[in-house]
Structure 1
Amino acid sequence: MRPVMTLELLATPAEVSSVRRALRSYGIDVQLCASELVTNVIRHVGEGVPVTVRVWREEGGRVRLGVTDPDPRALPVLIGAVGPEDESGRGLALLDAPALRWGVEQEAGRKTVWCELLVRVPKTPERPGLHQVSAGALGHSSARS
């Protein structure tokens, strides 16, 4: 399956808000999950690394969001209990709450953290702002095809 939207960017705090704007038509849950996944790349892989954000429409009103980065070793971990004084550890809980399911697909030289959400998606989402490429330009994605 080909993505309906592909965004290529460098993982920086300024780009997190750009990703949210680009995904506005997909709803708040997709925006939240994309923000958390790109922020995790910044925090755990490094600021300025190349990231690809892809969105697929699936059967039954589901949307699949995937964020690919160049470090297959920095894997996300859902932390069970985070205290009020902890400065981090809540991001994946924010992703886990609205997601039907999520996971990680590792390949040589990269990984994709993905989630599936149940959302109402318009037929023609708006595409402002970021450098976007066609689905075929990136080749076969690491997420389910």
Structure 2
Amino acid sequence: MPKAVPEVRRAVREYLGEPCADVQLCVSELLANVITHLGEGTPVTLRVSGRATRTRVELTDPDPRAWPALRRVTDTEESGRGLALLDAVALRWGVTQGAGCKTVWCELDPGHSPDRRVALITGG
């Protein structure tokens, strides 16, 4: 796993101020998709916002063409399970097209974080 992923997971946990395994899992999987499909060092913007009703994670990257797709994998395949994990823990998820970018987002139930303002983590 590239060095940036555990650092971002720690930053998210510190921001939320409590254990947040599902949020960290979603962040890891979204970052792993960018690294796998666009390359390590691709600039991204991560937003984590928490409200009384749900926590939202958004990861924006600069390639509007590389859309994630949920797929079935066999027991022998070594990759391809990231979105299945995200789909299993999130209430819902999707992709929003931007001008020259896309944002993959997911929402988790309120038990994952307290009310918080938005955190922005930009890499590149």
* TM bin (shorter chain): 0.7 to 0.9
Please say if 1:63 is aligned against 2:52: no
- What are structure 1's unaligned runs of at least 5 residues? 1-11, 134-145
Q: In the TM superposition, what is the alpha-carbon distance from 1:122 to its structure 2 partner?
A: 3.7
Question: What letter is aligned with 2:2?
Answer: P
Aligned length: 116
Whole-Å Cα distance in 1 between the matches of residues 8 and 66 of structure 2?
21
2:11 counterpart residue number: 22
Q: Distance in 2 between matches of 1:114 and 1:57?
A: 13
Runs of 4+ in 1 over 4 A off after TM superposition: none
Given candidates 60, 70, 87, the residue that maps to 2:78 is: 87
Gaps of 5+ in 2: none
Q: Give yes or no for contact 1:26–1:122 (8 Å, CA) kept in 2.
A: no
TM-score by length of 1: 0.72
The 1-side partners of 2:19 and 2:93 are apart by 17
Q: 1:73 to 1:20 in 2, by over 3 A?
A: same
| Closer, same or farther: CA 47–120 of 1 in aligned 2, 3 Å | closer
SS at match of 2:60: strand
